């Protein structure tokens, strides 16, 4: 079925993650700002929507497999995000920080933008650590409790935060802030382009930063476009 330009971006990527590569190609945010149509995004970015629609159709017809996260139980998806993406952030943060410090020391004189990239990443690491802890202590446990209550056909006690929409709103604000932060890092690094004098450490560092951003996009997409909307609907069903 041909994709229409009035299709919601976040919903489309949630249905088939293969389409994410197309939005990345055209620098259209599908995770933090996925709640808009293809037409709206194209108009804002001054892009011919017909080109994107053709690429989206081709992506969905490709033989590359895509995990159907939409079909997963919410407690399984929460576990997956925590064990895969949260652990990834924790591990890669410790790996990237020393590399950034080293290239700032060695190449900072000729590439002063590295100091700003380093500053942005350190701030991101701290913000993400606090953000993930809130999810692990507040939202994810409540999602697991809702799934358990639904499967046992039992009512659920109203949480201290009122409704799951409240912490979700806070988490989505955090997501938007980190999306904007990595947009700045992308711009500062000229889309992770290597300068002529880049040493091996410089190459590794930019590659790790790009990988970190890609993982963060998937991480945020799974929450903003799948986990959170479904958690809100499940809470309504149980109330």
State the pLDDT at residue 121: 98
- pLDDT bin (cut points 50, 70, 90) of residue 78 is very high
The structure's pTM equals 0.86
Q: What is the mean pLDDT of the chain?
A: 93
- pLDDT bin (cut points 50, 70, 90) of residue 201 is very high
Average pLDDT over every residue of 172-200 = 95
Average pLDDT over every residue of 45-63 = 88
Q: Give the model confidence (pLDDT) of 107-157 as tens digits.
A: 999 999 999 999 999 999 999 999 999 999 999 999 999 999 999 988 888
3-state secondary structure the chain: CCCCCCCEHHHHHHHCHHHHHHHHHCCCCCCCCCCCEHHHHHHHHCCCHHHHHHHHHHHHHCCCCCCCHHHCCHHHHHHHHHHHHHHHHHHHHHHHHHHHHHHHHHHCCCCCHHHHHHHHHHHHHHHHHHHHHHHHHHHHHHHHHHHHHHHCCCCCCCCCCCCCHHHHHHHHHHHHHHHHHHHHHHHHCCCCCCCCCCCHHHHHHHHHHHHHHHHHHHHHHHHHHHHHHHHHHHHHHHC
């Amino acid at each position: 079925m041909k994709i229409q330009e009035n299709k919601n971006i976040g919903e489309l990527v949630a249905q088939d993650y293969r389409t994410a590569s197309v939005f990345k190609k055209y620098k259209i945010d599908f995770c933090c700002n996925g709640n808009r149509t293809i037409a709206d995004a194209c108009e804002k970015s001054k892009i011919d929507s017909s080109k994107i629609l053709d690429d989206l159709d081709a992506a969905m017809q490709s033989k590359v497999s895509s995990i159907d996260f939409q079909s997963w139980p919410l407690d399984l998806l929460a576990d997956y995000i925590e064990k895969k993406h949260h652990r990834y952030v924790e591990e890669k943060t410790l790996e990237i920080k020393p590399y950034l410090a080293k290239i700032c020391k060695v190449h900072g004189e000729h590439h002063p933008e590295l100091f700003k990239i380093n500053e942005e990443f350190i701030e991101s690491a701290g913000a993400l650590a606090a953000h993930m802890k809130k999810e692990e202590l507040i939202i994810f446990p409540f999602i697991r409790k809702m799934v358990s209550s639904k499967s046992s056909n039992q009512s659920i006690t109203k949480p201290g935060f009122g409704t799951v929409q409240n912490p979700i709103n806070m988490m989505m604000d955090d997501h938007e802030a980190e999306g904007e932060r990595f947009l700045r890092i992308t711009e500062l690094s000229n889309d992770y382009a290597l300068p002529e004098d880049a040493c091996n450490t410089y190459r590794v560092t930019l590659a790790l930063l790009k990988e970190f951003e890609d993982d963060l996009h998937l991480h945020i997409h799974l929450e903003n476009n799948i986990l959170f909307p479904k958690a809100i609907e499940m809470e309504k069903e149980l109330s």
